[in-house]
Amino acid sequence: MNLRTDLQIISDWIKPSTSVLDLGCGKGELLYYLQQQHQVTGYGLEIAEENITSCIQSGVNVIQLDLDGGLADFKDNSFDYVVMAHTLQAVRHPEQLLQEMLRIGKEGIVTFPNFGHWRGRLHLFLHGSMPVTRALPNSWYNTPNIHLCTIRDFEKLCHEQGIHILQRSVVNHAHRHSLGARILPNLLGEIAIYHFCKK
């Protein structure tokens, strides 16, 4: 089975027979894969109706919920991992959600598009307008992404919030590793993937 490469990287970080809460789980691909391959249990939280149906079709437990409404109803430490792939930049209070992830789960994993990638920087420098790139394909007015950040911004936030980064992977828009992204992640990486826990 072909899993989106960023989800493949995430799944490599998740130990078998654990429990996972997937925030903004989309069509439930990650949970389906983890259930089939790693005997993982868990739930996806998702807001879009069409995605709910896809999750049901693949036998993934999905709860329709707006992440901006908070996760107060989930108990402390009730999951081994709380995952949020390509959703952090679209929520109203990313900093609170990161804290919530580590309250509910023992470890957290997030992925987000790196706004510090050179294409975006060049676009803004040359055109003076908000970049539209492969990783960020929307215009500024219709994008779901309201809290874009760079790799440097995210690590600074983690530092301020007492979040300990366990692993980091920086890849291109096709979620592939490259030497460049390894050497200069904030300039040459398009997608950032972080695995973290409480300090």
Partner 1 sequence: MTNSDTPNKVLPNDSVGLVQAKSTQFDRELALDCGRNLPSFHLTYETYGKLNHDHSNAILICHALSGDHHAAGYHSIEDRKPGWWESAIGPGKPIDSNKFYIVCPNNLGSCKGSSGPNTINPESGKIYGPDFPIITVSDWVRSQAHLANYLGIDQWAAVIGGSLGGMQVLQWAIDQPDRLRHAIIIAAAPKLSTQNIAFNEVARQAIMSDPEFHNGRYYDHNVVPRRGLMLARMLGHITYLSDDAMRAKFGRELREGKLNFGFDVDFQIESYLRYQGKSFVDRFDANTYLLMTKALDYYDPASEHNNDLAQAMRSAKAKFLVISFTSDWRFSPARSEEIVHALLDEKKDVTYAEVEANHGHDAFLMPIPTYTEILTAYMQRVANEVKA
Binding site for partner 1 (CB under 8 A): 19, 41, 43, 49, 52-53, 55-57, 59, 61-65, 73-75, 78
> Which DSSP category does 15 fall into?
P
Beta pairing partners, 105: 79
Question: Which C-beta is closer to partner 1: that of 12 or that of 66?
Answer: 66
CA distance to 28, 69, 104, 108, per residue, from 73 (Å): 21, 10, 10, 18
Question: Which C-beta is closer to partner 1: that of 19 or that of 178?
Answer: 19
**Minimum Å distance from CB 10 to partner 1?**
22
Question: Which C-beta is closer to partner 1: that of 78 or that of 129?
Answer: 78
**Minimum Å distance from CB 43 to partner 1?**
7
**Minimum Å distance from CB 70 to partner 1?**
13
Which of these, 112, 92, 115, lies nearest to 186 by C-alpha position? Answer: 115
Phi first, then psi, for residue 2 (nearest 5°) are -90, 120
**Minimum Å distance from CB 56 to partner 1?**
4
Question: Which C-beta is closer to partner 1: that of 69 or that of 137?
Answer: 69
| Beta carbons of 80 and 159 less than 8 angstroms apart | no
Helix (H, G, I), strand (E, B) or coil at 59: coil
Question: Which C-beta is closer to partner 1: that of 54 or that of 172?
Answer: 54
Stretch (H or E) spanning 63: strand 62-64
Spatial distance between the Cα atoms of 190 and 106, rounded to a whole number of angstroms? 27
| Beta carbons of 41 and 35 less than 8 angstroms apart | yes
**Minimum Å distance from CB 60 to partner 1?**
8
